[in-house]
Structure 1
């Protein structure tokens, strides 16, 4: 029998009463927060983070640097990988911790009672829980990640954050946000507030950058743009950050992938924009201690790890759109330059994504794709259809019943004259969460 935590029991009850998905509007969350006494008005200074790809990494870098400076940092992220508690990190001396189960359960119960059964989504209730928790527990700063979009996201009731950050924008969630990158950028730009500093991260699309800059100008929000006002580059095994204040000489980030350099830069700039004086030593320490589970995370032990070919590398990444596919493939290519290994993909996706666009990034890298179901999501794509998408992208692929079966198949088909394989499990945060749960290594 699986034990259910008190907080999970509260959430399971909510899921029987309210929709699980998104219904973008600020009316319901505003009504609920008013019933709770508007806790969003009693938050510590907020760094508000939106974007298609990279917002979680920017959040993780910001937290690591601020904590290295000795600050207490609340952090809100979504979705979670294994446990609902991951969405709420509570700031305390010595570093933040996931919210205690009893504290979370009590907050959920209070918010649900204040809602009184009115129409609302579970995400909105859980966002109200964040505001309640972060307003009632002291901290020096709160980093709040947008759930979906920006303009009508439930987090976007913060009247005046200390700073806003908008990371890389590409096509994703088109049904909610629009089918052109400039439309998605306009939704993300909805978190920009009049007069509040906004940090614009690296933008692969000029049209997206133009929308963000224009919105900031219209709202008289001081903006700094990656590649124009602040920069970063790697040289001789070090990372250099530069803005109008000068240069910082830093260690390379602990997070794998060159794309993380720009995310680290956005975090540094956001901390500055928010008014926190963090030393170069603290920034450097943050580079070396940063953690972001499920994103280019290498497994080193655990039940799933033990099923792989001895000596294999297993990487997890929940990136699931074409933009994420490109940066993950680039990271895999960088690893190939360091040590050549045959690359196998074990991929599961939900039906709101663009599988062909994701797979195309791996066309010249991956040896073979095994597609798997996602039991934890009702929206999981059929592995047979997903394998056809991989074929359309120029890869060879076949469906299997589980990640465990995929690892067994890799052991059978690998060329034993070559090094042990490199295995990337990804395409969905749901899938990555399942693997971390089964491996016995949930985020802490």
Structure 2
């Protein structure tokens, strides 16, 4: 079987690499000729642990290739995955122009049966738009070629995407054709041999499952952050509360870590898109609107704490920031809290020193010359008035507190991810501030 994956971004590239890893012939298509040229030279456009080795290995074995020629890819494949971007419009709805464009390319170029699978995160009803666009192009050609449409949403965590694809919690597939079901079963057989469940359902339900899953996780994050803020006011310790409620198997420990809000390419966009879908159907998704509001407010928490510590005057203060990506093990800064925090610090007149293990190149696209970049985490602290932790990279978790204190002008640490222990920081004579704990009592 030969498959094509249109869109060589995060989802498309991981999907193509992992399918080729189990012996399937894959061609990845993208309109960005520079990206394709780089990929053919083994240059990966994103940071994802293990991805570069997998791509290079399968290219050498002839199972993975890259092209800008979508017409040729459509003619040669039996299954085509749409993995293009669906950026949010100003009203929060997903922009489907790239998805529909790929569908039209399928209708213009297919010569035999084709199964078109939406892998991109798309609103409910998108598969019907895909089906319509394909059929319209076939009608223009005055040809009758059989095709099916399916939905196969991805559930990949940035930083662990390879493991998530190769050993999935579940595989969700929406379809309405026995032939399409047989093809998808065959395609995913290497990933289900160890008992990983494949859940077949109708297409609309599959589309909704992706949005509902991400919105549920976003809800847990905003919930624990709301509780953390209350804990700080009443004198409770959110770290203890989290352990107490997480031990309930109905709740669990995952996604109830307090912090400075969620970011990335999925949660913010998907919550907005689902809210918009509700509005389109005249249904008010009140909980999700609150989730979004809490998250937006949470991204300013660390800035507010820093400003209060310096009595509201940040003019000419130097703030050192460790971590810029929205989470560890990725260079992705889309919707990262660091974007908001840096903006507010600069607006308040502060100077900003930044360090991140992998996101420095990406940071320069966002901040330009407005901040000072450092290739060493400790150099970023020299003569800084305080340190703020924005991303919980492993290398930040066990630092030399003696070195930190020696380099900083003020012994102040603002921990946006609660990676340090309150008692230990107090023992080292730091002014320590985190999320959901009154560290000053």
The TM-score normalised by the length of structure 1 is: 0.37
Structure with higher helix content: 2
Larger Rg: 2
Q: Which fold has the larger relative contact order, with Cα–Cα distance below 8 Å and residues 6 or more apart in sequence?
A: 1
